[in-house]
Amino acid sequence: GLDPDSFINKFGADRFKNLIRKSISGLKFLIDTELKERRTEVPEEKARIARNIVNEIEKMPDPVVRSEYLKQTSEYLSIDEGVLRLMPKSKSTEKKDEEKDIFLPAEKILLQMLFEDSLVASEVLKKIEDKDFKGLKSEPIFKTLSEYVENGKTPKLHEFREKIDRFLFSSLSKILQEKGEPPSMEKAHDCLGTLKRLALENRWKELNIQIARLERKGEKEKLPTLLSQRFEITKQLSVLLQRNY
C-alpha cells in the first residue's frame, strides 16, 4: 500500500478524497477514542476534543490531507470548519503573546529581588501602598506579596499559581528563571521609586482627561476636587524627582 503522499502523487487528490470517504480512517478512530473519554455536551470538553484532534491533523505533512481531515472533523463534531482551521493560528498567537516580556524593567528587577531575598522583600513591601503599583501588570503579584509579609510568611512561587491568572504566573515564572541583578536595598528602592513615579504620572494623565471632559460639558462645580488632586500629585512627583529615585 501507498502512504497518503505517494497515493496523491500517483492518482491525484480527488481519488484520495473518495478513498478516504469510503474507508474507516485513522481520523475516525481518533475521534471515537476522544469521544469515549469526554462529554461533548460540555462546551469546554468539546473544545478540548477538537483541539486535540486538530493538533494531530497539523502534524500531517500534506496540506490536502490536512484539509480533508479538518472537513471530516467538522462534520463528525458539528463544529464550523472555519473555527477548526483557526485553531492552530490562535495557538500560535497565544504562544507568541506568552513569550513577550510583559513587565516594565523596574517591575522585573524588583520582582526578581523580592523573590530572591526575603529581607529585601520584608523591608520594601512594608513601604509599598496599593496606589504604588496601581495599573501595573504586576499589580496582583504585589498585592499577594504584601499579604505574605503582613502574615509573616515567606512567598513561595508555586503558591502563586492559585492566586494569579495563568498567563501572569507564566510570565512571573519566566523572569524568575533568568539571572537578575544581585539584591540590594538601594536598587530595590530605586525600582520602587520608578514604579511610584509611573503610577503617579498615569494618575495625573487620567485626571487631565477627566478635567478636560468636565470643562467641555460645562460641569465646573466638579472641577475643584479634581484640580486639587492633580496639584497634590504634581507635588508628589516633584518630591520623587528631587530624591532622584
For residue 239, the model assigns a pLDDT of: 83
96 pLDDT more than 70: no
242 pLDDT more than 80: no
237 pLDDT more than 70: yes
Nearest by Cα to 57 from 36, 79, 28? 28
For residue 100, the model assigns a pLDDT of: 57
pLDDT in tens, 133-156: 887 888 999 999 888 888 888 878
For residue 6, the model assigns a pLDDT of: 66
pLDDT in tens, 28-64: 767 777 777 667 777 778 888 888 889 888 887 778 8
For residue 187, the model assigns a pLDDT of: 92
Q: How far is CA 84 from CA 34, 54, 79, 103, 144, in A?
A: 16, 7, 7, 33, 38
Query: Distance between CA 195 and CA 129 in Å, rounded?
Result: 11
Work out whether the CA dihedral 92, 93, 98, 100 comes out positive or negative.
positive
Query: Distance between CA 156 and CA 32 in Å, rounded?
Result: 42
Report the run of H or E that residue 86 belongs to, with start and end.
helix 81-99
For the chain, the domains span: 4-99, 105-242
For residue 3, the model assigns a pLDDT of: 57
Residue 59 φ/ψ, nearest 5 degrees: -75, -15
Give the architecture (CATH level 2) of 105-242: Orthogonal Bundle (1.10)
